[in-house]
Amino acid sequence: MKIHVLTYVAVTIGLSACGLRADEFVSLFDGKSLKGWTQRNGTATYRIEGDTIVGKTSDGSPNSFLCTDKLYDNFELQFEVKVDDRLNSGVQIRSQTKDGPQGRVNGPQVEIEATGPDGSFSGYVYGEAAGGWMSPDDIRKAHKHFKNGEWNKYRVIANGANIKVWLNDHQISDLNDEAKLKSHPKGFIGLQVHGIGEGQGPYEVAWRNLKIKELPATKLDIAGTWNYVNGQSNGEAIGEDRLQGDITITADSLTLQGPDAKFVFEYKIDSSKKPNAIHMIITESPFGTGAEANGIVRRTGEQLELCYAMEGDAPEKFEAGENSGHRYLVLEKKK
């Protein structure tokens, strides 16, 4: 039996741990080569000096980035950095390129800059080619925790929509940005050498003790009562008459009490996949039980999205185009 009754469905998720074991850090730099890294965008140079990666500006070059080949989503990143007082820099996290591998690097950036007369914004989060400052203006205050001409210790934790940053053991950022998580859920780590104009520099920035620890996925909390907002099936809108009734979600089940019938579903999530994959089984309905479907699910603030295949493999995107065999539902948490 196909789960056509899943027009009425939302999801309940107990998110299991995924990723590397969260007990040890892994070095991002082997100390002798740049294996596992790829340079993108500008023409700054990157070289190895002992246990350090040194980036040097190139006259007239735009921003340059030395990027990990591996992509990361939830993690704790630690590194030390020393930068020329006249050079701005940063470390990209969860970043990507626009329009293919050679495109513009974009995504969240942990700010690195020397302390001037008015202080420094080091440790705040900037959206590189992604909308500018992510740290709100009323939170972003200049400070003097960055030590000019010395090694500075950073600690960055990115877990779900939350990004925390410490600089020399002072917490600078505690940022929640659901929109950026949606657009940049996973990506590379990138070491920035900021672009300079003609006739300036050369300036250098150096990193050492780069290490990362992948974290279990943040548990997705969707318990409560939800309302339907809209839906689509095979490219056609689902009528409002089929989107009636509240959905009650607990830790391991979903119940829909519709106008004419009750439906109960059980769910399992594979959080090692991005987006989160969901397997659904109907356990109570007037049409029988045991029918299954595969889908994907995500939450952004008070909105929940579910897209599933009525048969076969789960969709790859949150859309239900014509003849796709997919259904896409948008739910809103009831206030």
Tens of pLDDT along the chain (335 residues)? 444 444 434 332 222 333 334 458 999 999 999 999 999 999 999 999 999 999 999 999 999 999 999 999 999 999 999 999 999 999 999 999 988 778 999 999 999 999 999 999 999 999 999 999 999 999 999 999 999 999 999 999 999 889 999 999 999 999 999 889 889 999 999 999 999 888 887 999 999 999 999 988 666 677 789 988 899 999 999 877 766 778 888 877 888 777 778 889 898 877 767 788 888 899 999 989 999 999 998 887 788 999 999 788 999 999 999 999 999 999 999 87
Query: What's at 10, amino acid-wise?
Result: A
The answer to whether residues 109 and 92 touch, using CB atoms and an 8 Å cutoff, is: yes
Strand segments (E) across 43-151: 45-49, 52-56, 64-68, 75-83, 89-97, 105-112, 125-128, 132-133
- Kindly report the pTM of this predicted structure: 0.67
Q: How far is CA 209 from the centre of its chain?
A: 24
